[in-house]
C-alpha cells in the first residue's frame, strides 16, 4: 500500500534539485539549483525533509550556509517511488459502478 506523501512547492523544488536517482549532491550545488528560493526557506524545508526521512544528509549540523555547502544530500531510496508519485500525481481510473449479473 503506497504512502500518501504531501509536498509543498519548496519541498518539490528541493527534491527535484537533488534528484530521485541514487546519486548525491553537495550543498553548494543544491543552493545553486534552488537559487529562486531564499536561503532560510531552503534550510527550513530541507530540515523538514530530513526529519521526515525523505532526504538523508551526511552532515550532522546544518546551522549556517557554510555548514550546508560542505554537506552532501541524497533522497532516501526507501521513499523514491512514493516521492515520484507525489511529484507527478496521477488520478486513478474510476471504478465502474456497473455490476455484472449472472
What is the model's pLDDT at position 82?
87
39: three-class secondary structure by DSSP: helix
Classify residue 25: in a domain, yes or no.
Answer: yes
Average pLDDT, the chain: 85
**pLDDT exceeds cutoff 90 at 6:** no
Q: Do residues 73 and 57 make contact, with C-beta atoms less than 8 angstroms apart? A: yes
**pLDDT exceeds cutoff 60 at 1:** no
Classify residue 97: in a domain, yes or no.
Answer: no
Query: How much is the pTM?
Result: 0.78
Classify residue 45: in a domain, yes or no.
Answer: yes
How many beta carbons lie within 10 A of that of residue 65, not counting itself?
14
**pLDDT exceeds cutoff 90 at 73:** yes
Classify residue 34: in a domain, yes or no.
Answer: yes
Question: How many distinct structural domains can be found in the chain?
Answer: 1
Full residue range of the structural domain in which residue 57 is found: 9-87
Cα angle value 59/64/70 (rounded, 5°): 40
Q: Do residues 42 and 31 make contact, with C-beta atoms less than 8 angstroms apart? A: yes
Classify residue 102: in a domain, yes or no.
Answer: no
pLDDT tens for each residue of 75-95: 998 888 888 888 876 666 666
By CB neighbour count within 10 A (0-12 exposed, 13-18 middle, 19+ buried), where does 55 fall?
A: buried
What is the model's pLDDT at position 5?
83
Average pLDDT over residues 37-55: 91
Classify residue 101: in a domain, yes or no.
Answer: no
What is the model's pLDDT at position 75?
92
What would the grid cell of residue 81 be? 517511488
CATH number of the structural domain spanning residue 28: 1.10.10.10
Classify residue 100: in a domain, yes or no.
Answer: no
Classify residue 33: in a domain, yes or no.
Answer: yes
Average pLDDT over residues 14-38: 89
Q: Which residue do the cell numbers 555547502 mark? A: 69
Amino acid at each position: 500500500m503506497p504512502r500518501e506523501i504531501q509536498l509543498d512547492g519548496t519541498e518539490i523544488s528541493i527534491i527535484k534539485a537533488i534528484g530521485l536517482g541514487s546519486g548525491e549532491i553537495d550543498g553548494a550545488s543544491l543552493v545553486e539549483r534552488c537559487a529562486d528560493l531564499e536561503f532560510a526557506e531552503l534550510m527550513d524545508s530541507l530540515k523538514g525533509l530530513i526529519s521526515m526521512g525523505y532526504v538523508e544528509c551526511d552532515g550532522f549540523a546544518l546551522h549556517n550556509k557554510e555548514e550546508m555547502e560542505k554537506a552532501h544530500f541524497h533522497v532516501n531510496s526507501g521513499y523514491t517511488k512514493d516521492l515520484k508519485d507525489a511529484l507527478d500525481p496521477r488520478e486513478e481510473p474510476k471504478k465502474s459502478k456497473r455490476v455484472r449479473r449472472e
